[in-house]
Chain A
Amino acid sequence: MKNTALTAIHTQLGAKMVPFAGYNMPVQYAGINVEHEAVRKAVGVFDVSHMGEFILKGENALDLIQRVCSNDASKLVDGKVQYSCLPNVDGGIVDDLLVYRMDDKSYMLVVNASNIDKDWNWISKYNTKGVEMHNISEKTSLLAVQGPNAASTLQKLTDINLSDMEYYSFQKGVFAGVENVLVSATGYTGAGGFEIYFENEKAEIIWNAIFEAGAEFDIKPIGLGARDTLRLEMGFCLYGNDINDTTSPIEAGLGWITKFSKEFTNSKNLLAQKEAGVKRKLVGFEMIDRGIPRHDYKIVDEQGNEIGIVTSGTQSPSLQKAIGMGYIDVAFAKENSDVYILIRDQKIKAKVVKYPFYKG
């Protein structure tokens, strides 16, 4: 089991630690509901240092990214970030990721912790033109500082003008006295805020500086539990739940990051699938009758025929109702369609709704 550079601090704060993707990670501190609310209404800090970071460098770095990624990275300019995925050759997804353009010959890919080795091997296999690849995952820490007071908190610690930063852009600069910190206007909560990348050695300095700066907003540490409820309220996909090696980006509603302006892994088949139409789609639903949907519960029609499967579900802390995502036969995928979730052998009524569940 690996630790992040901040494990001792989490334990000291009374976090409940769980194994996740090979790391010992905080799942909650004070409780999911209060942590969730802190991010929606004020500001919270997540240690997500388990995430993987790869640096790709050289004349052919963009060419390699274009071959393995579904989105069109040629649209990136220096300092911009793009959400993308790595399609496999069988119609599924190797991983979803963020692509950072540092300059025209240097990129950073940010991948899911559970997929670091798989992604590294996958990309390496396509690296036939000598792109220099570095896996900096284990020496890199990542904090997500999210919520309406995130900018006011972090602005005290840096000269980078945070309020001017566009969504999905980043800058490198001095942060809390530490040089060469990458501040990115991204996140996985829908609450706004920043993600901050830096070297492990500086983790405690930066963590403490952020908590001092955020004290006036009652800043809180946030665990993976609330990270999941926050992302689910936005309808953001979680790899391993909502997307995996067998789900296509078209089915998953990731057509917007699947650009057929260029060729990439399995692009011909995905284009054919887009044109022919998919048989099932990832949709959001909310429960009408009482019950909480969970991963792998069946979705059925009124007669009890199986029409889909739940991929994520929870009681939404912000909405105070049960919500979920799942793959469903396209005949039932339209907004407001009545569907039923099979919970402990009982059909519980739900209806298909649009993302995001939480509209702030």
Chain B
Amino acid sequence: MNFPAELKYTKDHEWVRLEGNVAFIGITEFAQRELGDIVYVDINTIGKDVAHEEVFGTVEAVKTVSDLYMPIAGEVLEMNTDLDTNPELVNSDPYGKGWMVKVAVSNAADFDGLLSADDYQALIGA
């Protein structure tokens, strides 16, 4: 499994990529494999401030539903609208075309508190 070193991770299996003050957030390759075929990404927090570890949406696979937890506090600017019609992008390209939301980060220093790729792999035993 692939866990890019430039990303940060959470124990809830989200990844974060920081570009200036904007964070891109998605779920990890491990998470998409565990969930299986993803059929709906439901983001109901666009335009809202969401605190660290609060739920910012849900991801539905054929058989299961799973909450998405905010890795880093901030305002949800937009979601990846490609996922409305092609939610399977989360399976096929979890770190690229399968990104879920863009967030204006409240405090960029929070990024440093997240797990490194190595820490995350150790956590999931990969």
Contact = CB atoms under 8 A, between A and B. Distances in A.
A225 B63 contact: yes
Interface stretch (B3-11, B22-30, B35-43, B107-115): B35-43
Contact of A28 (B36, B65, B91): B36
B62 A290 contact: no
A229 B65 contact: no
A155 to B, nearest CB: 32
Interface string B40-74: 10101000000000000010101101000000000
Task: Sort chain A's interface into a size bin.
Answer: 10 to 19
Interface in A1-54: 16, 27-28, 31-33
Contact of B62 (A16, A291, A315, A344): A315
Given A292-B60, A315-B60, A32 B65 contact: no
Interface string A117-135: 0000000000000000000
B85 to A, nearest CB: 11
Nearest to B91: A31
Interface in A219-267: 225, 228-229
B25 to A, nearest CB: 19
Contacts of B42: 290-291, 344
Contacts of B58: 344
A70 interface: no
A189 to B, nearest CB: 15
Nearest to A16: B36
Contact of B65 (A27, A290, A294): A294
A49 to B, nearest CB: 21
B63 A314 contact: yes
Contacts of B63: 27, 32, 225, 228-229, 314
A28 B37 CA distance: 10
A317 B65 CA distance: 16
A314 B61 CA distance: 9
B60 to A, nearest CB: 5
A312 B65 CA distance: 13
A315 B91 CA distance: 16
A212 to B, nearest CB: 28
A110 to B, nearest CB: 24
Contacts of A290: 40, 42
A225 B36 CA distance: 10
B114 to A, nearest CB: 26
A337 to B, nearest CB: 24
B29 to A, nearest CB: 14
Nearest to A34: B37
Contacts of A292: 39-40, 60, 65
Interface of A: 16, 27-28, 31-33, 225, 228-229, 290-292, 294, 314-315, 317, 344
Interface of B: 36-37, 39-40, 42, 44, 58, 60, 62-63, 65, 91
The 3 closest A-B pairs by CB, nearest first: A315-B39, A32-B62, A33-B37
Given A16-B36, A31-B91, A344-B42, 11 more contacts: A32-B36, A32-B37, A32-B63, A33-B37, A33-B62, A225-B62, A225-B63, A229-B63, A290-B42, A315-B60, A317-B62
